[in-house]
């Protein structure tokens, strides 16, 4: 059984493995000891931070582990409010019309405008599940546990939640979108630019990125074709987020052109339909699958399990084994989502 919990420094080796296996283009998991260590340290600080009344510099990183072997299966995270300490850049796609009634010409043109429009928003990020664990409800748990956390502790997060989706790149980490930018404005390749961004060295972006809007029709055909498209490995994650109510509002990544999707926190399907129930610990014969999370923040736990929910009494029967994994006892509360 997979269980999600806050990351700790003892998980460094497992996080490093996830970083290596995630491959090129996974900006939030660069293979860099200092950065990974700093992320773990910052997450430990964030989870232990008390009296939080509004989102700030907190970054919450969690791991999913096999309850039988203890092996870490993947990671998932939330940034409470991005862009305050390190700028968060994106391109906005807008449409203009070049028209000449006298000549009978009416051309619709798209522009890419560089900006920081997501400053202050919460970002769901760093979702990676190792291939051997991509089965059953594991992927849904790693993604949706974040929404159960948000539903239970909304004051810690922004009204707008977004996610950057990995754009198109080949097995060697080459991005058609970046290749055009590199040719005209940069002299470093995609993997290096992506790596520098991942370790927080974003100064080169502001220094070298074109400040004026870019006409999309001036880009190479290859670059135009991947704007708003996702990497093949990212399609399942995008599909899941769309079902949650996330949509692209014409923002794309500045490196690979991958789409950014967003949703109001209160409108996320898993937030809207999550259930809070009082726990009874006992064996039961229910066959209904739920994603279940405790209501603790510092000691957050979530898993997928069969439980017996009684809507009339707003109570749930959880087996002793599952209760132990969730760190809950008789009379405690959990937040659940039917599957």
Active-site choice (16, 153, 155, 231): 231
Cα 233–chain centre separation: 14
Residue in 129, 163, 105 with CA at minimum distance from that of residue 233 = 129
C-alpha torsion sign, points 22, 27, 29, 31: positive
Angle between helices 176-184 and 190-198 (to 10 degrees): 90
Q: How far apart are CA 213 and CA 205, in angstroms?
A: 15
List the structure tokens of 272.
Answer: 């809207």
Task: Give yes or no: 231 in active site.
Answer: yes
Cβ atoms of residues 290 and 335 within 8 Å: no
Q: How far apart are CA 60 and CA 74, in angstroms?
A: 14
> In terms of C-beta density within 10 A (0-12 exposed, 13-18 middle, 19 or more buried), how is residue 318 classed?
buried
Q: How far apart are CA 247 and CA 295, in angstroms?
A: 28
Residue in 329, 157, 127, 143 with CA at minimum distance from that of residue 243 = 143
Q: How far apart are CA 129 and CA 27, in angstroms?
A: 15
Cβ atoms of residues 258 and 167 within 8 Å: yes
Active site residues: 231
């Amino acid at each position: 059984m997979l269980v999600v919990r806050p990351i700790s420094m003892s998980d460094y080796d497992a996080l490093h493995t996830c970083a290596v296996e995630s491959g090129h283009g996974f900006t939030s998991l660069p293979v860099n000891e200092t950065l990974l260590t700093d992320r773990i340290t910052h997450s430990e600080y964030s989870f232990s931070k008390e009296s939080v009344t509004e989102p700030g510099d907190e970054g919450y990183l969690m791991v999913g582990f096999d309850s039988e072997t203890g092996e870490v299966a993947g990671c998932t995270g939330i940034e409470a409010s991005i862009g305050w300490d390190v700028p968060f850049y994106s391109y906005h796609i807008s449409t203009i019309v070049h028209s000449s009634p006298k000549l009978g010409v009416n051309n619709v043109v798209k522009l890419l405008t560089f900006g920081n429009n997501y400053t202050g928003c919460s970002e769901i990020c760093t979702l990676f599940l190792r291939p051997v664990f991509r089965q059953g409800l594991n992927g849904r748990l790693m993604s949706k546990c974040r929404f159960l956390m948000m539903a239970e502790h909304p004051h810690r997060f922004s009204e707008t939640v977004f996610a950057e989706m990995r754009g198109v790149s080949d097995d060697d980490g080459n991005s058609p979108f970046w290749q055009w930018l590199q040719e005209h404005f940069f002299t470093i390749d995609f993997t290096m630019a992506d790596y520098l961004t991942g370790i927080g060295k974003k100064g080169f972006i502001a220094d070298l990125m074109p400040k004026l809007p870019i006409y999309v029709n001036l880009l190479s055909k290859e670059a135009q074709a991947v704007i708003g498209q996702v990497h093949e490995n990212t399609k399942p994650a995008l599909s899941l987020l769309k079902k949650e109510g996330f949509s692209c509002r014409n923002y794309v990544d500045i490196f690979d052109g991958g789409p950014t999707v967003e949703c109001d926190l209160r409108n996320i399907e898993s937030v809207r339909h999550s259930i809070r129930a009082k726990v009874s610990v006992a064996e039961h014969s229910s066959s209904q699958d739920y994603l279940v999370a405790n209501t603790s923040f510092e000691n957050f736990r979530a898993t997928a399990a069969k439980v017996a929910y009684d809507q009339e009494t707003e109570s749930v029967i959880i087996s002793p084994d599952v209760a132990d994994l969730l760190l809950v006892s008789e009379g405690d509360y959990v937040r659940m989502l039917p599957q």
